Structure 1
């Protein structure tokens, strides 16, 4: 299991775990059992006492902080410097780049100290605990397992990634006994993991110069069905060449039976991929017109989803020339590739164009199960404060699961309301305000819907669309604009906003229901919170509080299906009030 502790690193195995040789193993020259027991007891006590410095706030004697993922971690330079040659050199320099002194404590930013790789907060705490106590703690479940209920967590993405982080920490901070242990752990992953996850193991082995692990990973990748294009995109040239040469050796006997490669077609496909790398979809169209290669034959959509900017994916989909449910040679649809990348805007773009969320890979994985196997419980269950962005991994899973359950015939794209007049300008004002409030309450979800609908490309929002504290960003009046031109512009804007609301209804139905009720029943009165008698103002303010409760409940309801509680933030509530007051003044 990825999260199990190694008994060989227990504090009672050897005093060398507590020191780089400063504590002798030969406390008792005659080797009596009593003296050995005394040594073990003493080391156990020393280990526990030093660990108190990390876990007990009453022992806060740290003289420096290391900032890890924005979180300060207190350290004692004398202990950490004596245990790690890396930190000994850092502390010996005195003043280092990125080092500052605040309130008497030195501060280091861990990301500035690392020459390569990534060491997260939880991985650094495990390293720190070992450095102080000589004991290796089990890997925390919230960062070393995934949220797939049927996964054994013995080779899923989070389990491998956390072991990779621990290897980086052990190697960079120069703790050789940990390097040896995690090399063995990663070797166990190589045979069981998906080949995509072996890539990350190969990268850490390469940087840490672990030749045995490099050889095992190269062999696994060479024997896999991972395409050479992906290998060259993911690996340094030195490693991709090793894989290429080994594949050639492995398939020498099959050369006579291998199909003849059309070098001209291969060259044309490579040009299409390079055009996608350059974000030049117009060049892609030109290359398609000049040859008989199609987007599907070039695997262009798979390539764009895996390696290109989401905007490029949207433009390729806009050509209408690619099969959105096409499988590649490995049996992966484009949506499967998007699930591996975990970019919500790409996933929603594909679903909007008809991608089938229920399609399975050859080994029985759906897009949502792929996403779940790559998502940590820490990211999936983290509460999102109102007005703050939701974790992207969570949104990908939410969207895919809702799509799996959705009845396509039940979707009602209409955004009409009996309180909205038929006048074009009134409809547009209604939609502007509705989307603006959606952006205020649920910023990332609203942005996702707007990106798909391309609402940002048309004229600017009125009123609440402005950023907090700004004077708005209203469209300047064009005196030369004719009525026909104006109507065309307004209709274009309204269609984009209608598409935005449709996306919101499709993927966030409960929140959309609250917004509907708010727009119909409460918005007119809330624009005038400061007008009327004192009693009227009191009633309006009471309703305003109820509105915020409704929004919180709707958000909770949308998330409850996915085992998530509601949200609350006093600062966000304050922002909401300020925004409504701003709108009231503009009215």
Structure 2
């Protein structure tokens, strides 16, 4: 949801015969006056949140240990949830008659909403405008990540979706559901799990159906799904997988029920921290620790001391890959537990091993870590910064042994994930060229990407509607295909990163456009009359956002002595031509 366009700075008065009740203001002026009044009201209410000189709040909401002052009359008027809450619950007052307190964690039936997400929703309640997602909690610390579907971006959108649903703000549920739907198609399948959980709890049928379909078609193991999803959701996924297997009997592998039962017993023994029982189960059957992926399971779900005890048995391959191509160290990186990572490295785990889609343990860790967590300063006596420790340990190990083995794209699923990410990056760079032609060119020059074959293909594809980066060369080996795709992705990511670094305001506009507006802007003429009207209003706001972002970045360049120029008219004409074409 974007901020509304700035109102006109002047009012027109006329002596036209179109007057009502003797007023001197024309009917044409009334909407402008109303818009001006609403914007002024919004700005005034915003001061209640951002103004530090005076605190008029009459209650505190405790979010992640931080007090947030709120005005119960505003929250009750804007949210049915808070209306009911304040009506029946007067809150917990401090000694001496202080303001009543409400702990957000106690108000939520399940899940959690972080401090930054609560502030974004609170700002919307007061002003009617949705602020951009704070970068420190909605991006990761991987420098080449486009932040279009990394876990922090998904988690923050999930928090906003959850809060909108719980706080009974239906006008926000629709755009946030659309944002999450956009994630489902391009995120790693394990990152779809939190979206599936919120869709289930918030009863979002369309989002739920797409998430279940994506997970059912994936190679995520049932044991993992049972750990992370509600029982009825897992059953739903099993039914879909059963139907798929029935329709493809030739590719169905036979499952040995006895073998599966014995593997489950080993997992249950690990859950009980009983490694002695694990040893006993191994002697009673031909199942090995590697057959049961016992180290993978322990690294994901068990206490670190259990992982150490299993490693101490000396019966498991520390660099074993599971059916999805993940080693135990990859799983430990996803959990971000330093003691497990160190134990694995001590026992010979290879930090340079790659997953089937080209991720190392440290890149997995980076893409799961928010800048807020990575840069958090720990006070004396507080728990150490685990996020930073994990990344630092893995980076040191990579520097010690930088030789990474060749990794090939082993399945069509992984290739599809790469193609989805490439499609997003190519679209983003293409729209950057459209909205901010000079800035996009400069970002590509800084990234030394203009002369690469990847951008030569991109330029050719953009000139021809038949351009298709997924064309298959039958003589191309999987390893050559992998190198080509990753080379292309690296060039695109580097350009996006340069754009973020040198043109932050322009990049914010592109972030918002790619997340929320791209599907709508491509079909301005479709939908009901009212829907078309809303789309055109958003289109006008987008043009205004483009111009403002350009002016802000240009002003910053002027301050630091950098020269940058871009034709304002070419931006507007480009956006206008694009809208006409679609």
Using the size of structure 2 for normalisation, the TM-score is 0.64
Q: Could you say which residue in structure 2 is the equivalent of 1:93?
A: 88
- For 1:307 and 1:333, locate their aligned partners in 2 and report how far apart those are by CA, in whole Å: 15
Task: Tell whether 2:60 aligns with 1:60.
Answer: no
Aligned partners of 1:42 and 1:209: how far apart in 2? 37
Deviation per residue, 1:454-489 (Å, 9 max, x gap):
xxxxxxxxxxxxxxxxxxxxxxxxxxxxxxxxxxxx
Is 2:374 aligned against 1:390? no
With a CA cutoff of 8 Å and minimum separation of 6, indicate the structure with the bigger relative contact order. 2
Could you say which residue in structure 1 is the equivalent of 2:360? 366
1:335-414 alignment, distance < 5 Å: 335-406=329-400
Distance across 2 between alignment mates of 1:128 and 1:289: 59
2:137 touches 2:156 (CA, 8 Å); kept in 1? yes
Change (3 A) 1:321 1:113: same
Contact (CA 8 Å) 1:63, 1:77: kept in 2 or not?
yes
Given candidates 17, 41, 44, the residue that maps to 2:39 is 44
Deviation at 1:57, TM superposition (A): 1.3
Alignment of 1:288-299 (within 5 A): 288-299=282-293
Tell me the residue number matched to 2:157. 163
Aligned pairs for 1:304-315 within 5 A: 304-315=298-309
Tell me which residue corresponds to 1:183: 177
Whether the 8 Å contact between 1:64 and 1:74 is mirrored in structure 2 is yes
CA contact (8 A) 1:52 1:59 kept: no
For residue 279 of structure 1, the aligned residue among 273, 287, 303 is 273
Q: Alpha carbons of 1:31 and 1:268: their partners in 2 closer, same or farther (altered >3 Å)?
A: farther
State whether structure 2 residue 53 is matched by structure 1 residue 73. no
Q: State the SS of the aligned residue for 1:115.
A: coil
What whole-Å deviation, never above 9, does each CA across 1:304-355 have from its counterpart, x for those lacking one?
1111111111111111100000000110000000000111111111111111
8 Å CA contact 2:290, 2:320 repeated in 1? yes
**1:131 aligns with one of 117, 125, 129:** 125
Deviation, structure 1 residue 384: 2.8
Contact 1:99 1:109 in 2 (8 A): no
Q: For 1:139 and 1:76, how far apart are their aligned partners in 2?
A: 23
- Partner of residue 116, structure 2: 122
Residues 224 and 94 (structure 1 numbering): CA distance in 2 closer, same or farther, change over 3 Å?
closer
The 3-state SS of whatever aligns with 1:107 is strand
Q: Which segments of structure 1 move beyond 6 Å, counting only runs of 4 or more?
A: none
User: How far 1:104 sits from its partner (Å)?
Assistant: 2.7
Cα deviation per residue 1:340-373 (whole Å; 9 max; x = unaligned)? 0111111111111111111111111100000000
Cα distance change on mapping 1:31 and 1:80 into 2, 3 Å: farther
Distance in 1 (CA, whole Å) between partners of 2:93 and 2:296 is: 44
Residue 70 (structure 1) shift: 0.6
1:425-458 CA distance string (max 9 Å, x none): xxxxxxxxxxxxxxxxxxxxxxxxxxxxxxxxxx
Structure 1: 5+ residue stretches without partners: 1-5, 14-27, 409-587
Give the match for residue 243 of structure 2.
249
Q: What SS does structure 2 have at the residue aligned with 1:129?
A: helix
Find the counterpart in structure 1 of residue 551 from structure 2: none
Deviations 1:216-247 (A, max 9, x none): 10000001111111111111110001111111
Matched residue, 1:332 = 326
Kept in 1, the 8 Å contact 2:93–2:99? The answer is no
Following superposition, the deviation at residue 32 of structure 1 comes to: 2.0
Is the Cα contact below 8 Å between 2:90 and 2:100 reproduced in 1?
no
Q: Partners of 1:83 and 1:282 in 2: how far apart?
A: 58
- Measure how far apart 1:251 and its partner are: 2.4
Aligned pairs (5 A) from 1:417-456: none
Structure 1 residue aligned with 2:452: none
CA contact (8 A) 2:352 2:401 kept: no
Distance 1:400 1:91 in 2: 49
**What is the match of residue 417 of structure 1?**
none
Indicate which of 143, 146, 151 corresponds to 2:145.
151
Which deviations, in whole Å up to 9, do the C-alpha atoms of 1:37-73 show, x marking residues without a partner? Answer: 1110000000000000000112411111111111100
Cα distance in 1, alignment partners of residues 89 and 229 from structure 2: 37
Assess, with a 3 A threshold, how the Cα gap between structure 1 residues 62 and 223 changes in structure 2: closer, same or farther. Answer: same
Correspondence for 1:263: 257
CA contact (8 A) 1:11 1:43 kept: no
Whether 1:209 aligns to 2:209 is no
In structure 2, the residue corresponding to 1:58 is in which secondary structure?
coil
Paired with 1:223 and 1:73, the residues of 2 have a C-alpha distance of: 43
CA distance in 1, matches of 2:375, 2:239: 44
Aligned-partner Cα distance in 2 for 1:31–1:300: 76
State whether residues 337 and 390 of structure 2, in contact with CA within 8 Å, keep that contact through their aligned partners in structure 1.
yes
**1:173-219: per-residue Cα shift (whole Å, max 9, x none)?**
11111111100100000001111110000001111111111001000
Structure 2 unaligned blocks of 5 or more: 8-22, 403-582
